[in-house]
Structure 1
Amino acid sequence: MNIKKALIFTAFITGAISLWSAHPFVRNYSRKESGSGTQNWSIGQAANDWMYFANNNGLLEYDGVHWNIYPISNYTNVRSIYIDRSSGRIYAGAFNEFGFYQRTHTGKMTYTSLSSKVSTADRDFSEIWNIFQQGNAICFQGNNVLFSYEHDSLKATRFSEKISAAANAHNSIIIAQQKKGVSVLNGNLQLPIPNSELLLTKKIVAILPVEKNQILFVSENDGIFKYDGINIQSYPTPADRFIKDNQIFCATYHNQKLAIGTVRKGMVLIDLQTGELVYANTNSGLQNNTILSIAFDRNQNLWLGLDKGIDYVMVNEPVYDLVGKHNLYGSGYTSAVYNNTLYLGTNQGLYYLRLPLTSDINTTDIQAIEAIKGQIWHLSVHENTLFCGSDHGCYLIEGQKIRHLAETIGTWALKPIPGRHDLLLGSSYNGFFLLQKEAGRWQFAHFVKGFTETGSNYEFDRQGTIWLSHWIKGIYRLTLSDDWKQVAGNHQYTIRHGLPANDNNRIFQYNDSIYMNTTQGVYQYQASSDRFIKSDVKRHPAFRHTLPYSRIIQQNRQWTWAYNNRVIKKITQQPGILQIDSVSFSLLTNKLIPGFEHSTFINDTIGILGTEDGFAVIKPSRATLTQPTLHVAIRKVYLTGVTDSLLQEYSPGQAVIPEIKPRYNSIRFEFNATEFRNESVVQYSYRLEPSDQDWSDYNSSNSKEFTNLAGGHYRFRLKAKNNYNASEGETMVEFIILPHWYETLWAKMVYLLLFALAFTLVVRTIRRHSEQRIERVKQLKEKELTDQKEKFLLEANEKEREIISLRNQKLHYELRHKSQDLANSTMNLIRKNEMLLGILQKIDKIATELQERQHDIGVQKQLKKIQDDIRNNIETDNNWKKFQENFDMVYENFLKRLGEEYPGLSSSDKKLCAYLKMELSSKDIAPLMNMSYRSVEMSRYRLRKKFDLNRETNLIDFLRQF
């Protein structure tokens, strides 16, 4: 039996079910979370979707993220509020006090008391229990008085009996009083409503105008009454017993739905068109059962003001909680309807609920099947038998009998074999097994041999081939033998056969064909190539919107579901129309069990989903793709630093653009968008103009800080999107960071003047620098010329020095040569004179001998002549003149200077001085001067006297230094 037939079957067996109700999801706001007092007496929603509550500690405000409390002027309990959306005022009433709250241009909430306008006689009016608007007047209802405030004037109407309720119904003020019934207030006159005697003894707690000028009167203990413009009659509802048993305290009406809050048992929502009931109480998750105030919000969900805390009840969502807050049964893995009973398989065991379900399911309504405990993997109905796959094997439930097939082990799932209603193929921890129906009784037949892999995700195709997805090994295509006892064909498909990965592949049926949902989208098997290929999204547009590795279920030809733990998509496909709803079921985000997502569709309007918290009821017909405006607000603006200071609170319209001193150039924005069902689905994008060119990426942070901003006019623009209902909103706030004193206009004018002066100075400086540069260039050129000249001179001097050096070298060489010549000539002269003297002495000796012998006189004369010539040669040597020249050259004109200094010196004296200058000894000098040694010594003595030398002065030293 395929899914379609199963759905038809379950629709038939549940045809008698008139109501499928469950617990709405509830969000709790405790006193600690909201920072408020006990008891919340009245509720209102502003135009920006923010919620306000009349709390014992004052006016309580909730913007979806932040809570704020604003005490009333006399700090008494606030009992009532009314929001005038046209003016933005929030009217409030307390004990002997009423007035209104309103924001200033900076967003600060301020309170203005109107009680001062009350006359002294009427000042003790006690509590203000209700506030409503009549035309342009705001009406404040007390115990025995009704104040009407219009055009800044106040009018009081007194009543003899206590008012139990009052309201503006179809432009008339309706008053309900015990013992006096209900009446219309016309000026100061009370006109009884015709035929209202039925209500004389009833305590009316709410007066609700409905369609067609009709009015509902809700009593405390006697039910509901309806006024049709002529008569007042009892108005029966499916919740009458609940209403009469639990003491009604408050009620509200919207769009054919009546919501009633009780003192004892929470609330009930009555759909006056269908009769459907939705209850919410502590079983559903309310903090307590005493409802002091109740109101619809823009999403048609309900806010409850409790005796302690505030609750948000999501009655208008397509998702409900089956078992409520107090789930004692574990996580939901599977479910099925059998014999007018809803069976639920969890990780703890098998449970059931009798159908039809009551509107208020209590935990005691869920019964355990004690014979089947532990993990339940699978429930399905085949041939009027309920099959249960569990951790302990396969169980059969036939009527009231439960039978365990002992041969089986842990069972993942069971599937009917195409064309064989008497056979079921089961998947166990150790492989496949076969169940067979014989003689009207299902029995274990045998295990299928030849294949030991296991898994719960397998399907038969039209040819009877088994397709099994293994969690890490890819896909198996299996064929069984004709006797079903073993696997005849086994082919494994992996990434080598076209799959994008070996793991995370889900097999599903779509239009009676087999497909694989992979990490890269939907694939299908191509027999001709024996490979997997990407499915054609043009042929199946729904596949374009499926989720990677998600469970895909085709509920019918119109609706396809794709879901995993993160997203649930409902894909509606009609001729020419494809609608994708990925937001309506967002309350179940992160609640499904990964890898074991389960759904059972009872019919087109009801489905059961397994969750980590149990089971959820989904109602697809309630899903809507409308995109209401998302109200996004910049909640607060702080100047940040060592300590933060609040610059501006929420200010719609921003009448005044704040100007910020330059030292406070770091700023933080706190913002929010009103999404009460799940604020985490709201994401924000922003940009600061003109600094940012692009919008930031969307993120869930609801604050943004900018630091070190320069002076200027800024616009902080904020966008928000709600992933729950795809709505979007945008807002902005402007601010000006004033320039520093050095950035002001006057400073800029001074800068301009300074710039002009500086420019002039710069021009002059440039000109001067230019002139100086020219002068420097000129000087540089002159210096270069001078340097060149000096260089030339240096080179000339160097050359001259070189020439002089060469000359000096030459002179030195010549001097050395002269000195050498002088020394040589002196030595030669000495040797010559010594030789001549020797010869002379020998001649003298010969002459003496000849004379003594008286030899030839002629010979003696000749000898005499030779002696005279030798002596003359010694005394008048021609070399003296050359000697004198050389000597003066070597000794710097010594003889010349000596003659000039001592003109009395004789030529012999000069010669002696020259020889002494040369440091010759007297012995060496004697032959040079042709005198004896003694004569030389005497000549030296005479020289000392001529030089006038004292005894201490050495003659040679004197001549050396001269």
Structure 2
Amino acid sequence: MTRRLVTITALLLLAGARVAVGQSGGQDERGIPFPSEHYAPPAYQQAPQNWSVVQDDRGLIYVANNNGVLQYDGARWRLIPTTTGTFVRSLAADSLVFVGAKGDFGYLRPDSLGVLRYTSLYERIPEDERNFEDVWGTHVLDDGVYYQASKRLFRWDGTEITTWTSEAGFHTSFAVDGTLYVRDSQRGLLRLEGDSLNPAPGLETIPKTPIYMMARHPSGNLLIGTQKRGLLLYDGNTFRPFASELDSYLRENKLYHGCRLPGNRYALATLGGGVVVIDSRGEVVRVLDGSSGLPDSVVNYVYTDREGQLWMALNSGGVFRADLNAPLTLHDGRTGLEGAVRDIFRPNDMTYVATGSGLYVLREDENQVLGERSAHFERWGDLPLVWDMLSKKGDLLVATQEKGVFQIEGRNKEQIADWLFTYDLLSPEESQIVYAGTRTGLKGLRPTQDGWTSFSVEGGQGEIRSLAPGEAGTLWLSTTGGDVARIVLSNDGRRVTAMTRYGERDGLPEGYKGVEVINERVTVFSKRGFFQIENPDQAPGVWQFFRRSSLLPDVKGADTLAVKSFQEEGGRLWVILDDRVFVGRLGEGGVSDWETVDPLHFPKSEDTRLFISRDSTLWLSDRRRLLRYALGRKVYTERRAVDLSALVRQVTTLRRGQVVYGGHTSSLTDDSSLAIPYGRDLRVDVAAPLYSTEKPHQYRYKLAGRNDQWTDWKTKASQRYRNLWEGTYHFRVQARNDRGRTSKVASLTLHIRPPWYRSMWAYLFYGVSFVVMAYGYRRYYQIKEERRRARERVRELERERVVAERLKKANERLREANRLKEDFLATTSHELRTPLTNILGSLEVLRGTATDDQEKFLDMIEENGQRLKRTLNALLDLSMLRSGEKELDQTPVPIDECARQVASELRADAEQEGLSFRIDTPDTPVYAEVDEQYLKQIVRNLVENAIKYTDEGHVAVSSGRTNGHVFVEVKDTGIGISEDFVPELFDEFKQESRGRARTYEGNGLGLAISADLAERMDGSISVETEKDEGSTFTVEFPRSSEVASSELDEV
């Protein structure tokens, strides 16, 4: 196999002794200059016609456009219009950018916000010299800035304007090595000496020839470009022809401008033929036109930036930039190459490229421009995706994905195998057979007299992705599943006689692996790197693999797991690591000394492929592009040393997009300061004006004062900040290009002013206002409170008077009513008591003569009479208590003895009702200062009620003392009292059962009188009851202090 390709994370391409490549004689394989970029009008959104390009001290690019001055920082375009919005024709720059426009000229300077604005010098021109149109030339010299219009030449030295006038008109002007040259349409080439424009010596040889280009030649002469007479060398006295073979081309395509390139080369812009690049001998180096990627062959201006890249101002296509310093060009869809590149093969001076879209062949254009042919790709036939190519006995074999293997001869093809997914082709040196790794196993092709015959290798099953030769009669293979195996073939090569598999137990990593031969040793590659056999002298069944780090260069920060390599026939190993190319000579121990191809610059890709041809041409491919690098060609490094620099380009508010900082200051400093009102969410735009990289720069940010940590690297050239509190913040930004080079840290100090309501004056105002308001409020509150208290006092007095009056009247009414009630009760009770006494007395008389039946009636009359008597007595007692007629005689009384006496008297009644009656009093007497008569009445009422309302069970009477009090407790198992009636229990005439629902007799006065008597003797009655379970009444009095003291003495 001539060239092979395996697509995995670590790509290995080997040629070894099997590589057969050659350089076609005279075929130009160059594509589009790389890197290059077309800035179309939609990209910068302004007019398509441009007239000039210049770069300032910070690396920003400025373009003279019909709508104004375009500014480009590598990340974004901005328009700076002139005062009147006229066309801009010319530009020049040193610390400022100077502008020549239609009927006006001036310069760019930042305003108070740092936004770059156009400043016109029109008002400084004398009024009688303001009649001019386009300013076609602008030049910066030591003594001032020169603006060249058609009729006038102006010089501005910073304070005043000096003018030169031409009747015939000034055509063009040039500044070379600090000297200004102006071509007068009548007088010819003039040189400014002091304040005089003098004819250049030797002018008589080209008196009226228009001049469009002037630059210094390495010989010390001036290289002058014209349309009619081509290129001329001027030694200060005479003009002589130079590179006369270009004369007709420059005349036909109208030379319009030119500039010097690094390496003593020159770019000549034409109005139809693109740009011609020549060297110092006048030989054509390159022609940039439509076939080489230039979108517009009418080029108005060419300019070399500080990196040595060529900028072209196009007449109707925008701006084009190309790097012509390294012999690196690009092939993609613009040169006819489509699909992801998988292999390159060059038999018989033909360059074939296998891609995902088919097979392509590189051809030269038939049309020549100045002896140059630009190359382009043509698709060969209708082949589908091509995986691999191989040359065997003069036949080109092509492995495809869907249609098997084809034999290619000229423009003819023949299918010689119909396997699906043929990934790899291999022909061992000692064999005539070509082996193929396919989805369905190992296949073979054998040459015959009539062509080729195909067969399947017995025992070679599985999806085989890569093949490598071993010792005679053996092959190495890897499968999609990650298996690696060594197979031994039969003598006829049609059968596998032995197979040894190797995996993790043998030192290989997990995951997909491929096989190849590096330095005559079988090498397994994977995401972990390269692995070779550690003990090759032992039997294959016990071979162990180890990671061979000496096959990779040691580069810090590089992704060693994404390496791509290629071995030349001469024994050199080429390796791609990220976006760098290394080469080293192989030895027994690997590669000891690595060299890097420094000028080579290409975009980093996860799918980069590497090919080397015998003519020292390096081919690199990623998914969609093919890069060609001529290793033997000269690399032009004559350029200023340019460091990557990060710039803070603009600060705007997020809500309205208002610019608060334009990125420019009157004096360039490393640390600028910016004051911003409170409440602005900000967006900070940054840039790194270095244009020679293919991938966008990366940036990281830090806002000290809010977060002191750097962000991760990212390609977004802006950062947003929201909800910034007042204070001082230090914005930091650092840039990094795709080579890993980092810039210095650029900074911008942000002073977020507090809102007006949190400013120092506001706080002072708040303080004074607070004191005034506090005093005023205090005074106001005092007065208000005094008035309120006065009003309240008046209302209170009035209410008290009214209430007192009402209470007085109510008390009088109540006293009168109470007196009437008491009188009524007393009178009624007294009046009823006398007849009742007579009736009871008469009963005693009647008993002597009554029969037994009459005796029963007399008993009933006596019983009801006694009940009525008790009721009347109770009413009289209540009346006397209310009226205060009854006075208490409180003396220390042993309440236990009183309780025992009353209980003993009522025992018979309880037992008569069938109740158990218990008396429990302490052995030691307990005393309380009470009226003994009334105490007994209270106890009697409680015991009688207990007997009355208890149908069965028992009644218990007890006494005792607790916590400085003495008590008598009456407990029964009667009907109990409902919880709702307890609050009314001690009210007068209140009974739980009323009306027809009454089941027990009573008048409701006993408990009321008892409670009243207890209260008058400083005691109280309480009850604990549960319906249908019984009640416990407790009457409690303070212990007698006199008796308590005597008892304490006894203790």
Q: Shared topology, TM-score over 0.5? A: yes
Q: Greater CA radius of gyration, 1 or 2?
A: 1
Q: Which residue of 2 aligns with 1:735?
A: 750
Give the partner amino acid of 1:457: S
Give the Cα–Cα distance (whole angstroms) in 2 for the partners of residues 139 and 160 of structure 1: 19
Paired residue type of 2:127: T
Report whether the alignment pairs 1:130 with 2:115.
no
Distance of aligned partners of 1:401 and 1:129 in 2 relative to their CA distance in 1, 3 Å threshold: closer
> Which residue of structure 2 lines up, in the alignment, with residue 937 of structure 1?
none
Q: Distance in 2 between matches of 1:8 and 1:892?
A: 135
Partner of 1:839: none
Distance 1:543 1:91 in 2: 45
Matched, 1:74 2:88: no
**Alpha carbons 2:242, 2:282 under 8 Å: kept:** no
Does structure 2 retain, via aligned residues, the 8 Å contact 1:177–1:203? no
Partner of 2:1015: none
Q: Which of 371, 377, 398 is the matching residue for 1:388? A: 398
* Offset at residue 484 of structure 1 (A): 1.8
* C-alpha distance in structure 2 between counterparts of 1:235 and 1:409, whole Å: 62
User: Is 1:24 matched with 2:33?
Assistant: yes
Of 540, 545, 561, 1:548 maps to 561
Matched ranges for 1:798-813 at <5 A: 807-813=894-900
Residues 806-845 of structure 1 aligned to structure 2 (within 5 Å): 807-814=894-901
Cα offset, 1:177, TM superposition? 4.5
Q: After superposition, what is the alpha-carbon deviation per residue over 1:579-617, rounded to whole angstroms, capped at 9, x for unaligned? A: 567995434x45x8x5xx644322464223445445332
Give the conservation status (yes or no) of the 8 Å contact 1:476–1:490. Answer: yes
Per the alignment, residue 172 of structure 2 pairs with: 165
Distance in 2, Cα, partners of 1:741 & 1:732: 27
- Tell me the SS of whatever aligns to 2:900: helix
Match runs of 1:313-328 below 5 Å: 313-316=322-325, 319-322=328-331, 325=334, 327=336
SS at match of 2:427: strand
Which residue number in structure 2 is paired with residue 10 of structure 1? 21
One-letter amino acid of the counterpart of residue 560, structure 1: W
- CA distance in 1 between partners of 2:892 and 2:472 (Å): 126
Which of 438, 457, 460 is residue 451 of structure 1 equivalent to? Answer: 460
- Taking a change above 3 Å as real, the CA distance of residues 113 and 644 of structure 1, as seen in their structure-2 partners, is closer
SS for the counterpart of 1:338 is coil
Output the amino acid matched with 2:341. Answer: G
Residues 309-330 of structure 1 deviation map (CA, whole Å, 9 limit, x = unaligned): 2222343456422366253655
Tell me how large the CA RMSD over aligned residues is. Answer: 4.3
Cα drift, residue 456 of structure 1: 4.8
1:659 aligned to which of 668, 672, 675: 675
Match of 2:44 among 23, 34, 37: 34
The partner residue of 1:600 within 593, 611, 633 is 611
The whole-number CA distance in structure 2 between the counterparts of 1:412 and 1:239 is 51
Partner of residue 704, structure 2: 689
From 515, 518, 526, the counterpart of 1:518 = 526
- CA distance 1:755–1:217, change in 2 (3 Å): same
Kept after mapping to 2: 8 A contact 1:568/1:582: no
Deviation at 1:89, TM superposition (A): 1.4
Aligned counterpart in structure 2 of residue 95 of structure 1, from 89, 99, 102: 102
Hey, what does 1:637 align to over in structure 2? Answer: 651
1:82 shift after superposition? 0.6
Deviation string 1:453-512 (CA, Å, 9 cap, x unpaired) is 344522224566422222224222222222222222223334454333232x23343323
Is the contact between residue 225 and residue 232 of structure 2 (CA under 8 Å) also seen in structure 1? yes
Counterpart position of 1:375: 385
Alpha-carbon distance change, 194 to 458 in structure 1, aligned in 2, over 3 angstroms: farther
Is structure 2 residue 219 aligned with structure 1 residue 224?
A: no
The correspondence of residues 328-343 of structure 1 with structure 2, limited to 5 A, is 330-343=339-352
The 1:691–1:268 alpha-carbon spacing in structure 2 relative to 1, beyond 3 Å, is same
Task: Work out whether residues 428 and 454 of structure 1, in 8 Å CA contact, stay in contact via their aligned partners in 2.
Answer: yes
Equivalent-residue separation in structure 2 for 1:741 and 1:348 (angstroms): 67
Which of the residues 185, 204, 215 maps onto 1:208?
Answer: 215
The structure 1 residue matched to 2:425, chosen from 401, 414, 430, is: 414
Cα distance between partner residues in 1 of 2:375 and 2:935: 149
Identity level (%): 20
Q: 1:98 Cα deviation (Å)?
A: 0.7
Opposite residue 417 of structure 1, the aligned amino acid is P
Q: Secondary structure at the match of 1:635?
A: strand
Once the two structures are superposed, the pairs formed by residues 298-313 of structure 1 within 5 Å of their partners are 298-308=306-316, 309-313=318-322
| 1:798 equivalent in structure 2 | none
Alpha-carbon distance between aligned partners in 2 of 1:80 and 1:151, rounded to the nearest angstrom: 19
Equivalent residues in 2 for 1:83-122, closer than 5 Å: 83-84=93-94, 88-122=95-129
Distance in 1 (alpha carbons) for counterparts of 2:187 and 2:361: 52
Q: What is the CA–CA distance in structure 2 between the aligned matches of 1:746 and 1:351, rounded to whole Å?
A: 78
Contact kept in structure 2, 1:425 and 1:435, CA below 8 Å? yes
Alignment partners' CA distance in 2, 1:390 and 1:369: 13
Aligned residues: 762
The 3-state SS of whatever aligns with 1:33 is helix
Q: By how many angstroms is 1:100 displaced?
A: 0.7
Checking the alignment, whether the CA contact within 8 Å between 2:53 and 2:302 is kept in structure 1 is yes
Q: Distance in 2 between matches of 1:658 and 1:249?
A: 45
Give the C-alpha shift of residue 44 in structure 1. 0.6
Quote how far apart the aligned CAs of 1:305 are.
1.4
Match in the other structure for 2:414? 404
Higher mean alpha-carbon deviation, 89-98 vs 686-695, is at 686-695
Counterpart of 1:332, as a letter, is V
Deviation, 1:45, is: 1.0
For residue 296 of structure 2, the aligned residue among 288, 301, 326 is 288
Q: Deviations over 1:384-439 (max 9, x none)?
A: 554433454444456x585636356464443331345x554344554444455679
> Which amino acid counterpart does residue 635 of structure 1 have in structure 2?
R
Aligned equivalents of 1:714, 1:614: Cα separation in 2: 45
1:733 shift after superposition: 0.4
SS class of match (1:728) = coil
Amino acid at match of 1:511: N
Q: Does structure 2 retain, via aligned residues, the 8 Å contact 1:495–1:502? A: no
Show the counterpart of 1:65: 75
Gaps of 5+ in 1: 757-802, 822-887, 895-962
| TM-score with structure 1 setting the length | 0.70
User: What residue in structure 1 maps to residue 241 of structure 2?
Assistant: 234
2:549 aligned partner: 537
Q: 2:602–2:694: 8 Å Cα contact kept in structure 1?
A: no
Q: Which string of whole-angstrom CA distances, capped at 9 and with x for unpartnered residues, describes residues 828-884 of structure 1?
A: xxxxxxxxxxxxxxxxxxxxxxxxxxxxxxxxxxxxxxxxxxxxxxxxxxxxxxxxx
Matched, 1:481 2:490: yes
- Partners of 2:525 and 2:740 in 1: CA distance: 26
1:155 aligns with 2:162: yes
TM-score, normalised by the number of residues in structure 2: 0.64
- For 1:48, the equivalent position in structure 2 comes to 58
In the TM superposition, 1:551-566 aligns within 5 A as 551-555=564-568, 560-562=574-576
CA deviation vs aligned residue, 1:289-336 (integer Å, no higher than 9, x gap)? 221122122332222211232222343456422366253655433322
Displacement, 1:101?
A: 0.9
User: Which residue is 1:917 aligned to?
Assistant: none
* Structure 2: distance between partners of 1:274 and 1:472: 60
1:650-687 deviations in whole A, cap 9, x for unaligned? 025368733334x3364332212224466753111121
| CA deviation after TM superposition for structure 1 residue 55, in Å | 0.7
Q: In the superposition, relative to structure 1, how do residues 708 and 140 fare at CA in structure 2: closer, same or farther (>3 Å)? A: same
SS at the partner of 1:570?
A: strand
Distance 2:447 2:527 in 1: 39
Question: What corresponds to 1:959 in structure 2?
Answer: none
Contact 2:442 2:464 in 1 (8 A): no
